Structure 1
Amino acid sequence: MTPAELSVSLLAIVQGVVERRREADAELAEVAVTPADAALERPKNRDHGDWASNVAMKFAKRLGTNPRALADEIAGDLAEVDGIASVDVAGPGFINITLEAAAAGLLAKTIVDQGALYGSGDYYDGVTINLEFVSANPTGPIHIGGVRWAAVGDSLARVFEAVGGQVTREYYFNDHGAQIDRFARSLVASALGEPTPEDGYGGDYISEIAARVIDTFDGDVRDLPRDEAQELFRAVGVEFMFADIKASLHDFGVDFDVYFHENSLHESKAVERAVARLRELGHIYEADGATWLRTTEFGDDRDRVVIKSDGEAAYIAGDIAYYLDKRERGFERNIIMLGADHHGYIGRMMAMCAAFGDTPGVNLEILIGQLVNLLKDGEPVRMSKRAGTVVSMEDLVDVVGVDAARYSLVRSSMDSMVDIDLDLLTKKSNDNPVFYVQYAHARTCAVDRNAAASGVDRSAFDASLLTHPTEAALLGALSELPRVVTQAAELREPHRVARYVEEVAGTYHRWYDACRVTPLGDEEVTDLHRTRLWLNDAAGQVIRNGLGLLGVSAPERM
């Protein structure tokens, strides 16, 4: 019996109890029972059963009874369901359910049969989601903060897709503004052998890109007027830089569906159209020679200048146009992932969303991520020679590899600072969390190979044979993947998947130590061996599915 099947049985029983209560008392108001009301959870103490429900405490008041009495009534009906060994009522009305071994063990076959689909759901079935992340300025390599967003953002996209979301990964390419001018001036200075401008960008990458731009020019750039050289290095240099960023992301396992150019908003008159729309809605006014958006009506601390008195668009003008563009492309949910220095940005963005008549927190969400500290020999790693004053994606990957980098950046909540110990991530030991999980998967594959060599296959399956305590614990852990994935999507917390696969890995290792899949010596192959092979393969599938949601490989040998 799968958790979903048990939830369906519980839901039907609760609905039946509600109907009986209302038939006995015509004055009771109608009570609606939804699937969410029949949610199950794992008891913290496994001695209390396989599953627990607080449904009686949810409905007791509405049915005019006490939770304990209602729980006893529900428990009596549940005990008659095939596959349930016992039902107990604890405390004020908790219902603890213990499954028969055969019913619990069927999950192993279900997981193997479902394969890569196990763990998926329909929480966001058909919902269109635009997930914008990284969006680093194209003026240098991606720094470590952007690397965290690359790992977390791509994992979150995978989680959304696993629960039915139609996800578009989008990168907002900031190619309009003063930072591009500074980048171009830095390239020109490097090409001409001049010092880096005071407000410019340093690092070996500047000289590398400057040299590549020179190679594309038929002639000597030193003969060009300064303004023409500036334009050349702006146009070509930015393209080179952005190509490098794309390549780094691709090597990191992150590819975007859309690369949106900020400059296109200004060239296409999208800013003007967005301002016109807000003017029609009555939220634009003129003051002091500038054009303002009345964001204070929607909770912002002050109104915002959209078009400055000199006619130039303020930064928020691009945000307004970009948001409207996303909505016009049909995205129901627009999620933007920003760095820790953007907290003050949230109020104005949510006010802008409301000004368009949309719902903040639904049509627009902003997720804020905290900083990353890299440690080597217990000391912070401060800078990169190539990138200048920051540590880049390439620096991290060069030291620990893609899998360890992605996993370590995803396994902590995005709203907390994280310390990445480079020494730990290069160790092949259980202290290294990604090694610990990947090794568990490799061990399931080794068991498969050894089983085949010993004549053990999956030609038989008898779930009633899975009676060892470690088997019950492993089945319980494996059953949690669908819930964990849905919760990770709902709460925007892909780190839950990482912590979960670590739990599965530990539970699997304990089962491996206690139960044999292959016979000893001349021992005959039995259905217990064959059934345990199903359980072994189910564990491998769950770990593989979990790592896949994190964009981390599941090696077969280590």
Structure 2
Amino acid sequence: MDIKQKLIAAIGQAADKAIAENVFSADQLPEIALEVPPQKEFGDYATNFAMQSAKRAKMNPRMIAQAIIDRINEPWLEKAVIAGPGFINFYLKADVLYQELAVILAAGDTFGQSNAGQGERVQVEFVSANPTGPLHVGHGRGAAFGSALVNLLRAAGYNVEAEYYINDAGNQIDNLAASVNARYLELLGKTVEFPEDGYHGRDIIDTAKRIIDRHGDKYMNLPEAERLATFKELALKEKLAALKEDLEHFGVTFDVWFSERTLHNNGAVRATCELLQGNGNIYDKDGALWLKSTAYGDDKDRVVIRDNGVPTYLAADIAYHRNKFERGFDRVINIWGADHHGYISRVKAAIAAMGYQPDHLEVLILQMVSLYQNGELVKMSKRTGQGVTLNELIEEVGRDAARFFFIMRSIDSQLDFDLDLAKSSSNDNPVYYIQYAHARICSILRQVEEAGLDVANKLAGFRRLEVLTEQIEVDLIKKMAMFPEEIASAARERAPHRIARYAHELAGMFHTFYNQCRIMGVDPELQVARLALVTAVRTTIRQALSVLGVAAPDKM
């Protein structure tokens, strides 16, 4: 447990004691939040817990604060002081922070990891784009966010499975086959009418060309239904392989690729509808089967089996979510685009109708991405005249910048992606700024090694960290000591952008340290202590970037 968590626990225990001793009463106390005061004289940590509790306890906040202070007796706490209307400022004993630095050095690449999630089984389903063409920029935001969320949850002690739901059944795949078929016939000299709902991308023409390159006009004289069935399988296999390759190129992998087709082929869709009919949550009207979703908070009932006997998309989605919960996940997280916002209530209604807890499904909605270059909105690819693909973006700005820029803002806000900034090698580019801090520390350590000092050996037995007395040194230790709680809190909030912000703040503090504090040519003990400090900073930056799926380069 890090010092911040120890302090939170101590405050909570003190409040419980005060309530047990009838100093004040409250049915439910607020969550205890700590912050680092902006000025050293206000202590190492501060809380407004007493002020937040005052209304519920019906007591003056300064009196609550005093009751808490009187009941905290920890060996690592120097003092606690009431400030203003009821803030409590905590002052730690000097050696506590140095112990925190030693903990970071000992933890190495496990620093930041915790058991906050207590092994809760969580499935995160993300991207799940139709395998009908290349991924675009909007998919990229979902891919970067989803994979970072998976990393974050794992670091916080959740048992996480990443899943891609392959929409390989239904009209979109039929339209893919029809589009390839039309381009195939066109390339072989036939005049055909392109399907009204067909896909017009250049990649469809390329798929048709590859079929001709491999098989010539072999399929020309097949009955159209047979040719369409063949092209459906060929195109789906190709598009799915390309999609997987593009995601891996972006640093995104999945534990499970789940096929929608399997739900139809193994009877899961029909079985799920029969289950809902059996418990009275599906009824027949005008020859179609309707889900009683209004009984569970939806604004209207929904068709699950059409009057022609064909299941709707919703029917497959209900069967899919039933399958998720049958696999034993404690919590299911879906990451959807903004256009799916209205779909949430009907899926949650279906989950409730099946007897599962609807709040065990979390749906995170991604807002839109807008690309800007030279101050102007970029809508179309220069290469194809269509939407910008994820691969084109990576080619333009690089994988690390693309991932960081997608993650650095909360997903519930629209993202304006500045291509020029993402490509720049300047301190204004946040990912460059952070990576440069890591590379600069690696350079320092190389220089010291080249000067004849075995850093690892020196740090192994070094205990004189208390010589780090400059304010920026103390601030760096405090900031790093907060990292495990930052990971745990960001995981609870499903907020990888908090780690991006943390890494940027830590890098800024390191750059300030670098400009203020020498490492070479100072007292030997101070030199080793500062090497310990920058080694810990390097570890923390690397761990933060690892969560984001961004590289931590040794040289730049």
If the length of structure 2 is used for normalisation, what is the TM-score?
Answer: 0.92
Q: CA deviation at 1:5?
A: 3.4
> Matched residue of 2:220: which SS?
helix
Matches within 5 A, 1:45-194: 45-57=39-51, 66-76=60-70, 78=72, 81-193=74-186
Alignment partners' CA distance in 1, 2:26 and 2:239:
64
Matches within 5 A, 1:230-245: 230-245=228-243
User: What's 1:483 paired with?
Assistant: 485
Alignment partners' CA distance in 1, 2:27 and 2:483:
31
Cα distance, 1:199–1:9 mapped onto 2, change above 3 Å = closer
> Matched residue of 2:358: which SS?
coil
Give the conservation status (yes or no) of the 8 Å contact 1:130–1:170: yes
Q: Deviations over 1:153-199 (max 9, x none)?
A: 00011111111111111111111111112211211222222564342
Alignment partners' CA distance in 2, 1:220 and 1:159:
50
User: What's 1:212 paired with?
Assistant: 210
Alignment partners' CA distance in 2, 1:37 and 1:382:
44
Structure 1 counterpart of 2:168, one-letter code: D
> Matched residue of 1:509: which SS?
helix
Q: Deviations over 1:329-363 (max 9, x none)?
A: 111211111111111111111111211222223x2
User: What's 1:268 paired with?
Assistant: 266
Q: CA deviation at 1:55?
A: 4.0
Structure 2 counterpart of 1:467, one-letter code: T
User: What's 1:296 paired with?
Assistant: 294
The answer to whether structure 1 residue 378 and structure 2 residue 379 are counterparts is no
Alignment partners' CA distance in 2, 1:382 and 1:113:
49
Alignment partners' CA distance in 2, 1:199 and 1:65:
66
**Residue identity (%):** 41
Cα distance, 1:55–1:375 mapped onto 2, change above 3 Å = closer
> Matched residue of 2:319: which SS?
helix
Q: CA deviation at 1:281?
A: 2.0
Q: CA deviation at 1:461?
A: 2.5
Matches within 5 A, 1:299-314: 299-314=297-312
Q: Deviations over 1:212-235 (max 9, x none)?
A: 233443762323232222111111
User: What's 1:338 paired with?
Assistant: 336
Alignment partners' CA distance in 2, 1:538 and 1:379:
41
User: What's 1:545 paired with?
Assistant: 543
> Matched residue of 1:149: which SS?
helix
> Matched residue of 2:485: which SS?
helix
Alignment partners' CA distance in 1, 2:384 and 2:314:
29
2:531 to 530, 533, 536: 533
Alignment partners' CA distance in 2, 1:67 and 1:314:
57
Cα distance, 1:327–1:189 mapped onto 2, change above 3 Å = same
Alignment partners' CA distance in 2, 1:508 and 1:441:
9
Alignment partners' CA distance in 2, 1:333 and 1:243:
29
Q: CA deviation at 1:32?
A: 8.9
Cα distance, 1:60–1:419 mapped onto 2, change above 3 Å = closer
User: What's 1:414 paired with?
Assistant: 411
Q: Is the deviation greater in 142-151 or in 454-463?
A: 454-463
Contiguous gaps of at least 5 residues in structure 1: none
Q: Deviations over 1:262-296 (max 9, x none)?
A: 11111111011111111222211111111110000
Q: CA deviation at 1:31?
A: 8.0
Q: Deviations over 1:342-389 (max 9, x none)?
A: 11111111111211222223x211111111111222222222367663
Q: Is the deviation greater in 149-158 or in 99-108?
A: 99-108
Q: Is the deviation greater in 60-69 or in 178-187?
A: 60-69
Alignment partners' CA distance in 2, 1:165 and 1:388:
43
Alignment partners' CA distance in 1, 2:349 and 2:39:
46
The answer to whether structure 1 residue 393 and structure 2 residue 390 are counterparts is yes
Alignment partners' CA distance in 1, 2:100 and 2:25:
39
Give the conservation status (yes or no) of the 8 Å contact 2:5–2:485: no
User: What's 1:514 paired with?
Assistant: 516
Q: CA deviation at 1:421?
A: 1.3
Cα distance, 1:30–1:306 mapped onto 2, change above 3 Å = closer
Cα distance, 1:32–1:394 mapped onto 2, change above 3 Å = closer
Structure 2 counterpart of 1:180, one-letter code: I
Cα distance, 1:45–1:134 mapped onto 2, change above 3 Å = same
Give the conservation status (yes or no) of the 8 Å contact 2:176–2:198: yes
Structure 2 counterpart of 1:98, one-letter code: Y
Q: Is the deviation greater in 43-52 or in 86-95?
A: 43-52
Q: CA deviation at 1:120?
A: 2.1
2:445 to 445, 448, 464: 448
Alignment partners' CA distance in 2, 1:330 and 1:300:
26
Q: CA deviation at 1:298?
A: 0.8
Q: CA deviation at 1:208?
A: 1.7
Alignment partners' CA distance in 2, 1:227 and 1:322:
29
Alignment partners' CA distance in 1, 2:129 and 2:308:
28
Contiguous gaps of at least 5 residues in structure 2: none
> Matched residue of 1:168: which SS?
strand
Count of residues paired in the alignment: 545
Give the conservation status (yes or no) of the 8 Å contact 2:438–2:538: yes
Alignment partners' CA distance in 2, 1:198 and 1:37:
56
Alignment partners' CA distance in 1, 2:448 and 2:117:
40
The answer to whether structure 1 residue 474 and structure 2 residue 471 are counterparts is no
Q: Deviations over 1:84-140 (max 9, x none)?
A: 333211122221012233222222111121122222222322211111110111110
Give the conservation status (yes or no) of the 8 Å contact 1:202–1:387: no
Q: CA deviation at 1:38?
A: 5.3
Alignment partners' CA distance in 2, 1:144 and 1:387:
15
If the length of structure 1 is used for normalisation, what is the TM-score?
Answer: 0.92
User: What's 1:5 paired with?
Assistant: 6
Alignment partners' CA distance in 1, 2:303 and 2:375:
47
User: What's 2:36 paired with?
Assistant: 42
Alignment partners' CA distance in 1, 2:449 and 2:79:
37
Indicate the RMSD between aligned Cα atoms, in angstroms: 2.4
Alignment partners' CA distance in 2, 1:77 and 1:126:
33
Cα distance, 1:224–1:32 mapped onto 2, change above 3 Å = closer
Alignment partners' CA distance in 2, 1:472 and 1:371:
40
Cα distance, 1:510–1:325 mapped onto 2, change above 3 Å = same
Alignment partners' CA distance in 2, 1:348 and 1:50:
48
Cα distance, 1:63–1:364 mapped onto 2, change above 3 Å = closer
Alignment partners' CA distance in 1, 2:133 and 2:401:
24
Q: CA deviation at 1:429?
A: 0.7
Structure 1 counterpart of 2:399, one-letter code: V
Structure 2 counterpart of 1:4, one-letter code: Q
Give the conservation status (yes or no) of the 8 Å contact 2:28–2:56: no
Cα distance, 1:356–1:387 mapped onto 2, change above 3 Å = farther
Alignment partners' CA distance in 2, 1:107 and 1:270:
53
> Matched residue of 2:270: which SS?
helix
